[in-house]
Structure 1
Amino acid sequence: MEKERARHSKEQMPATKLPTTVNDVPNHLLKLIFGRLDSHVSFLRAAAVCTRWRHIASSHGMRYRDCNYHDFSTTIGHYHVVDPSFSPEPRSSQAQRRHRVVFIPALPSIDVRHFTLDFLPSGPGSRPWQLVDGYGSLLLLTNQRHSSFPDIVVCEPISRRYFKIKPIKDMKYCHCLGVFLNRRYNVSSMSSFTLTCMVYQRSTGIADGVSYVTAHVYTHGPPWSRRWRHGWSTSRHAMSGGIHIRGAESVHYAGRSKGSIFWGIEDDGSVFSGEEGTGVLSHFHLPENVRGSQHRSTFRFIDDGVDNLVRVISLIGKDLRVFLKKEHNNGGSDWVLVRSLHLPEATLGFPGYKECFFSHTAKIVTAGKGYVVLTPVEETWLFSVELGTMQVERDHIRNKLAGEVYPHELWLQPKVSACVLRCKRGRDGPCYDMCKCK
């Protein structure tokens, strides 16, 4: 009787629940976690925990499509396109100077000689190549011809490879407003990249020098891709969104944000944009409180990498303001002021600061992902602002020279094998399955 009572009471007692550990996390969730690790070091440390984790982190367990949203890039240095217009020299001597390219390494141990552009062929007519864009390890250079489409070359300095791009016949005598490397994907290489080009040509039947803007896309795919192709294309959506302007001098480059390239039209204060990779054009007006004076050096669209919203930085008076575009369900949108910085107060106390600075509106020298480089009009005195925190910096590498700055990065997903030993089951090379060789 006592045995039955003991057995009955034991059956009624709740079973002891074992503590949940990381071993209970399924493989598909671990794969998502590994894909969001913040550095190469964290990725390799995770692969060294155990055999199961090493198998998931291996090149067989985690393919590129599992990590293509993560940035494994390492900044090697910055290419500076020195703009002579910021030089204090007289204009007569400036006219004899051209934009020159200077590479500044991120670390003193990096040999600058490996990143020179002396391997490029001579441009037609001995004209020098001009650096117009950079992304990852690639640089985009053009050789502008008078009243015709420029010669284009994409190169990779660290491997000293380059590829020339020829225009199509319809573009040969079109003026190029700008050509850009597509930044929609984390990785661009010499075997796979895309360009977006803005061109304008004279419109028939329209006087006063009015031109018609279109966008063209160049695709350079790898040979092993199912969609392998090389060449220019124009989307029918891009053609339907054509825009009329009064010559190239009436527009200016206004930055990039969330997969679009923006241009300001000085005649009416409006803006048009072209979507990277498709060339779809759109045209809209900015409120006066956002665009300010609409001068080309006081206004820039920018990417911060935080969300999928378009941002504009604007210099209005002595203030730097950051505006965010918020879309509504009814199709409308509003520009909301999210941050503001009073420049005289923020830069006070930095070496070289003068009381005469900011008596006029400052100028934007360059802008990148999450930052902007500025200078007072009175003197070339470079400083940058981190837009996430509105912190001012003077000693950053991007503030060394006045002009556009392109970070040079190497993108590399860590290669991890599932097995660190030679396979003992008859296979050649390392084992790519769960390690059973021991």
Structure 2
Amino acid sequence: MEKETTRHSKEQTLQASSRSPTTVNDIPDRLLKLIFRRLDSHVAYVRAAAVCTRWRSIVSTRGIFNLSYHTHDFSTTIGHYHVVDPSSSPGRRRWSSREQQPSCRVVFVPAAPSIDARHFALDFLPSCPAGRGRRQRWEVVDGCGSLLLVANQPRRGMFPDLVACEPISRRYVRIQPAEDMKHRRCLGVFLDGYRSVTSLCNFSLTCVLSEPSAGIADGVSAVTARVYRHQPPGWSRWKYGWSMPRLATSGSVHLRGAECARYAGRSKGFVFWGIIQDDGTVVVAAREGSCVLSSFRLPDHVRGASLSHHQSTTFRFVDDGADNDDLVRVVSLVGEDLRVFLKRDHNDSGAGIDWVPVRSLNLREATRGLPWFKECFFSQTAKVVTAGKGYIVLTPAEETWPFSIELGTMEAEREHIRNRLAGEVYPYRLHLRPRVRACVFSCKRGRWGPCYDICRCT
């Protein structure tokens, strides 16, 4: 028995020694495709195509991305547009309600020193329409990819003048409202870029409107949404211009106090507005890329401190930096504490019990060691300045002292440029899709165009 066991172990040792070592060529094509799809660098993508003929065939345009090529993210961040809010910037005095606050200025901060910020200036935009009650400059209201959406908002809150522009090519498109939209109050307008990449030749935006409801009690408004699509004339799949899909025709939301709605952030493909009412806070959610609207009541323990109708909200919907789940996150300010709640479906009727607290931070203790900290800070509830993917910028109510909190680590800091240029931030990205061919010559087998498979023509 011992001899058979010894002989069997010797055979296994000989087989292991004679077996060739495992190399990268032993990885099947299906696993290589999954690996190449996760490449986030253009350099790594081109290097993979230059390894061998097999890899070049897999990463070719008709290989790895045969079905998902147009949805894969090949974006490169060039810089960020900061819409500086004068009331939240350091060193600025507070403006009383009787004084006219200056307009927000736009500052482009390049991602690398080699990028010239002058090439991304907005001096090519047309002159603002003259008229009573209109501002004399364009204001950036949204950004997606290489596009910016600017508006000239009338002070009475009616429909604004809209322009979609592309700073890198210095082109723009004026967006004219439909006749029935000119006298409606615009709650917000945003570009639809959650699902696919957009360009100035093919983009869409969603506008959320409110108007008094006929036959209903005073103060109740009907909130609806409209979609604007800008596409080349040859594209007939979607209606060109403003349209209202069937899903939104009978899905308008009736709310009281919609004219006091405040922007409350974005999370997982939704844009949120908060409406502070006497009996609580109502949140309106609009899905990006569609006209689907919904509303729900935010529980008292989630919304934070109770503010008046004319003050900013003390909560903000944000996206986590990891972005690996479908959970909606909301950051709430309760006294000196910052709390993070999450929920899988914000439209669920059980909103009062399903918002789960996951993180908490005492703002006074977290910011005590930062420069220019004062002990008098946070005796009142702090204010939300802006929020982005994985962070939120706050300032004490007593003094303009902006600082940011990283939601992943829950650490406070003041040295980041988003604190010095306090306001909304829009990343500017270029979506450069590489086209890799498996064969650089024209096909000799009678097919049109170049060969995208392993060349067997010669």
Q: Under TM normalisation by the shorter chain, which class is it? A: 0.7 to 0.9
How much is the aligned-residue C-alpha RMSD, in angstroms?
3.0
2:437 matches 1:417? yes
2:108 matches 1:103? yes
Which of 121, 124, 127 is the aligned partner of 1:122?
A: 127
Residue 144 of structure 2 corresponds to 135
Which of 336, 341, 356 is the aligned partner of 1:323?
A: 341
Q: Is the Cα–Cα contact under 8 Å of residues 68 and 185 in structure 1 kept in the other structure?
A: no
2:39 matches 1:37? yes
Gaps of 5+ in 1: 1-9
Residue 95 of structure 2 corresponds to 91
Residue 203 of structure 1 corresponds to 213
> More displaced, 376-385 or 22-31?
22-31
Alignment of 1:32-431 (within 5 A): 32-63=34-65, 65-68=67-70, 70-86=72-88, 88-91=92-95, 95-125=100-130, 127-145=136-154, 146=156, 148-222=158-232, 225=235, 227-267=237-277, 268-295=280-307, 296-304=312-320, 305-327=323-345, 332=350, 334-419=354-439
Q: Distance in 2 between matches of 1:128 and 1:376?
A: 29
| Aligned partner letter, 1:402 | A
> More displaced, 64-73 or 35-44?
64-73
| Aligned partner letter, 1:387 | L
Cα deviation for residue 415 of structure 1 reads 3.3
Question: What are the superposed Cα offsets for residues 298-340 of structure 1, whole Å, 9 maximum, x if unpaired?
Answer: 2111122221111101111111111011459x97450001111
Query: Structure 1 residues 186, 373: CA separation in 2 closer, same or farther (over 3 Å shift)?
Result: farther
The normalised TM-score by structure 1 is 0.87
Q: Is the Cα–Cα contact under 8 Å of residues 72 and 412 in structure 1 kept in the other structure?
A: yes
Query: Structure 1 residues 191, 62: CA separation in 2 closer, same or farther (over 3 Å shift)?
Result: farther
Cα deviation for residue 261 of structure 1 reads 1.4
Q: Distance in 2 between matches of 1:32 and 1:52?
A: 15
Q: Is the Cα–Cα contact under 8 Å of residues 176 and 198 in structure 1 kept in the other structure?
A: yes
Question: What are the superposed Cα offsets for residues 170-201 of structure 1, whole Å, 9 maximum, x if unpaired?
Answer: 21211111100113224121122221111011
How many residue pairs are counted as aligned between the two chains?
Answer: 425
Cα deviation for residue 397 of structure 1 reads 2.8
Q: Distance in 1 between matches of 2:349 and 2:302?
A: 20
Residue 3 of structure 1 corresponds to none
Q: Distance in 2 between matches of 1:221 and 1:30?
A: 36
Q: Distance in 2 between matches of 1:167 and 1:337?
A: 42
Gaps of 5+ in 2: 1-10
Question: What are the superposed Cα offsets for residues 42-79 of structure 1, whole Å, 9 maximum, x if unpaired?
Answer: 22222222111112212343447424554332222211
Residue 27 of structure 2 corresponds to 25
- SS class of match (2:377): coil
Question: What are the superposed Cα offsets for residues 209-231 of structure 1, whole Å, 9 maximum, x if unpaired?
Answer: 43211111112235565625421
Query: Structure 1 residues 222, 384: CA separation in 2 closer, same or farther (over 3 Å shift)?
Result: farther
Cα deviation for residue 247 of structure 1 reads 4.7
> More displaced, 256-265 or 29-38?
29-38
Question: What are the superposed Cα offsets for residues 338-371 of structure 1, whole Å, 9 maximum, x if unpaired?
Answer: 1112212222222222222222221111111221
- SS class of match (1:418): coil
Aligned identity (percent) is 61
Q: Is the Cα–Cα contact under 8 Å of residues 159 and 181 in structure 2 kept in the other structure?
A: yes
Q: Distance in 1 between matches of 2:226 and 2:443?
A: 54
Q: Is the Cα–Cα contact under 8 Å of residues 328 and 345 in structure 2 kept in the other structure?
A: no
> More displaced, 117-126 or 245-254?
245-254
- SS class of match (1:218): strand
- SS class of match (2:47): helix
Cα deviation for residue 432 of structure 1 reads 3.6
Question: What are the superposed Cα offsets for residues 388-412 of structure 1, whole Å, 9 maximum, x if unpaired?
Answer: 2223332223222121111111122
- SS class of match (1:91): coil
Q: Is the Cα–Cα contact under 8 Å of residues 74 and 411 in structure 1 kept in the other structure?
A: yes
Question: What are the superposed Cα offsets for residues 227-281 of structure 1, whole Å, 9 maximum, x if unpaired?
Answer: 2542112133323232234455432111111121111111131212122222111
> More displaced, 178-187 or 222-231?
222-231
| Aligned partner letter, 1:106 | A
Q: Is the Cα–Cα contact under 8 Å of residues 312 and 322 in structure 1 kept in the other structure?
A: yes
Q: Distance in 2 between matches of 1:369 and 1:230?
A: 32
